[in-house]
């Protein structure tokens, strides 16, 4: 079977609490925590960006895969915060990993689902026998305008997945994508912060696509929600994925291990892939896992994975997501956060 041979994640150590952001803008933190089910979020260090996050996540994936990086024939980075407008993130990542020069590289952008896009294409190339191994990465240092609701969730982190045919830890049983032109969230060329369509982002965007992809993949695969050990849905806030999962027939217990948004925030392209990585950290052989991403604009990619016995051999070879989420946290106040996120205008 074709599937994941190695996976890894990376989260920055810096955090800001919902209370600190709410205090800055005169908002009631308890209302926001209750409404969005968020407690805190990750913040990239001054020297971190999508490229450095991708490199660290990919190094963890390579540790688990135990393969020669030179055998990776394709490397794709999905993000909506690539550091360059023109110059790929992927070339820097590939150079840092020792994957160059015999490799196909591209950067993807599809709002929050660019990570699963990278995974989907990596999987497809291995399935087509064009490359032996392919890596898909979802990583972001997400933007949210000061004072906007997004500022409570937009965070940083990412995950990397290496696809191959040998020594697989999670077989890909099926994939499905559901896409329409939906203007729910966007950032124009040159604009610093994204804009969103308020309430328009819920039912016509997130729920339509997540439920559309989720229902379709369940129908065509013949699996029922109760057949799955775990399910992960894109996490723009705490509430949306739980609501979508419930509508599809999943329980909170099935979603809990991958529902990392209360402590991580929304890492955009890294969101559902990192929830999936957290789930791989605890999944058992033969477990079925459903992953459904969502990207504004809008679309969802769905995957069904089946765990193999090899997961027990590889999961301890790199740091687990829970450890990254709960250890070595450094809390910033809003002033420090504004500096770290480049929200203060400085002289050159």
- Show which residues are catalytic: 80, 112, 234
Minimum Å distance from CB 40 to another protein?
Answer: 17
Q: Which of 47, 181, 189, 326 binds another protein (CB under 8 A)?
A: 47
130 φ/ψ angles, rounded to the nearest 5 degrees? -85, -30
Minimum Å distance from CB 273 to another protein?
Answer: 19
Binding mask 317-346 for another protein (x = CB under 8 A): -----------x-x--------x------x
Distance set, CA 171 to CA 3, 35, 125, 188 (Å): 4, 36, 15, 38
Q: Give the tokens for residue 125.
A: 């190339």
46 binds another protein (CB under 8 A): yes
**CA-wise closest residue to 110 among 274, 301, 238:** 301
CA distance 136 to 114: 10
Q: Give the tokens for residue 128.
A: 């087509």
Q: Give the tokens for residue 124.
A: 């497809």
Q: Smaller CB distance to another protein: residue 245 or 265?
A: 265
Q: Give the tokens for residue 162.
A: 């290496």
91-109 in b/e form (b: 16+ CB < 10 A) is bbbbebbebbeebbbebbb
Minimum Å distance from CB 47 to another protein?
Answer: 4
Q: Smaller CB distance to another protein: residue 89 or 254?
A: 89
Q: Which of 23, 35, 45, 338 binds another protein (CB under 8 A)?
A: 45
Strands 288-292 and 297-307: antiparallel
49 binds another protein (CB under 8 A): yes
Region from 24-32, 91-99, 161-169, 251-259 binding another protein, contact rule CB under 8 A: 91-99
Distance set, CA 106 to CA 213, 327, 344 (Å): 25, 33, 32
Q: Give the tokens for residue 339.
A: 């500096």
Distance set, CA 301 to CA 33, 76, 79, 233, 341 (Å): 28, 16, 15, 10, 29
191 binds another protein (CB under 8 A): no
Q: How many residues bind another protein (CB under 8 A)?
A: 26
84 binds another protein (CB under 8 A): yes
Helix axes 239-248, 208-221, angle to 10 degrees: 40
189 binds another protein (CB under 8 A): no
Strand partners, 331: 15
CA distance 208 to 103: 36
Minimum Å distance from CB 174 to another protein?
Answer: 35
Minimum Å distance from CB 339 to another protein?
Answer: 7
CA distance 217 to 178: 10
Region from 84-92, 139-147, 219-227, 277-285 binding another protein, contact rule CB under 8 A: 84-92
Region from 70-78, 82-90, 246-254, 290-298 binding another protein, contact rule CB under 8 A: 82-90
Q: Which of 30, 34, 83, 220 binds another protein (CB under 8 A)?
A: 83
48 binds another protein (CB under 8 A): yes
Q: What is the DSSP letter of 205?
A: I
The full length of the chain comes to 348
Q: Which of 92, 137, 278, 314 binds another protein (CB under 8 A)?
A: 92
Minimum Å distance from CB 96 to another protein?
Answer: 4
Site for another protein in 93-112 (CB under 8 A): 95-98
Contact (CB, 8 A) for 5 and 67: yes
- Which residues are at the interface with another protein (CB under 8 A)? 12-14, 45-49, 51-52, 55-56, 59, 83-84, 87, 92, 95-98, 328, 330, 339, 346, 348
């Amino acid at each position: 079977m074709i599937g994941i041979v190695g996976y890894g994640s990376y989260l920055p150590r810096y955090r800001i609490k919902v209370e600190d952001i709410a205090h800055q803008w005169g908002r009631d933190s308890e209302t926001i925590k209750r409404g969005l089910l968020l407690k805190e979020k990750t913040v990239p260090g001054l020297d971190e960006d999508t490229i450095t996050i991708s490199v660290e996540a990919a190094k963890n994936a390579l540790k688990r895969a135990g393969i020669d990086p030179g055998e990776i024939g394709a490397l794709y980075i999905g993000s909506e915060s690539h550091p360059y407008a023109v110059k790929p993130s992927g070339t820097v990542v590939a150079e840092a990993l020792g994957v160059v020069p015999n490799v196909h590289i591209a950067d993807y952008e599809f709002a929050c689902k660019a990570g699963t896009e990278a995974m989907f294409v990596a999987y497809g190339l291995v399935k087509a026998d064009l490359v032996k191994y392919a890596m898909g990465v979802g990583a972001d240092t997400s933007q949210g305008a000061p004072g906007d609701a997004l500022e409570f969730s937009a965070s940083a982190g990412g995950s990397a997945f290496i696809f191959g045919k040998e020594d697989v830890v999670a077989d890909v049983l099926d994939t499905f994508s559901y896409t329409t032109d939906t203007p729910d969230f966007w950032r124009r060329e040159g604009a610093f912060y994204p804009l969103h369509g308020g309430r328009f982002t819920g039912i016509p965007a997130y729920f339509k696509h997540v439920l559309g992809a989720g229902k379709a993949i369940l129908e065509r695969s013949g699996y029922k929600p109760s057949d799955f050990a775990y399910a992960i849905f894109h996490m723009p806030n705490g509430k949306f994925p739980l609501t979508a999962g419930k509508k599809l027939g999943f329980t909170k217990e099935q979603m809990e291990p991958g529902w990392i948004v209360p402590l991580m925030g929304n890492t955009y392209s890294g969101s559902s892939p990192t929830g999936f990585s957290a789930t791989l950290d605890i999944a058992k052989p033969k477990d079925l896992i459903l992953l459904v991403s969502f990207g504004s604009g809008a679309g969802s990619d769905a995957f069904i994975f089946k765990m193999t016995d090899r997961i027990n051999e590889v999961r301890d070879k790199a740091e687990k997501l829970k450890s990254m989420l709960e250890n070595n946290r450094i809390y910033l106040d809003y002033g420090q956060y504004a500096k770290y996120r480049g929200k203060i205008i400085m002289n050159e």
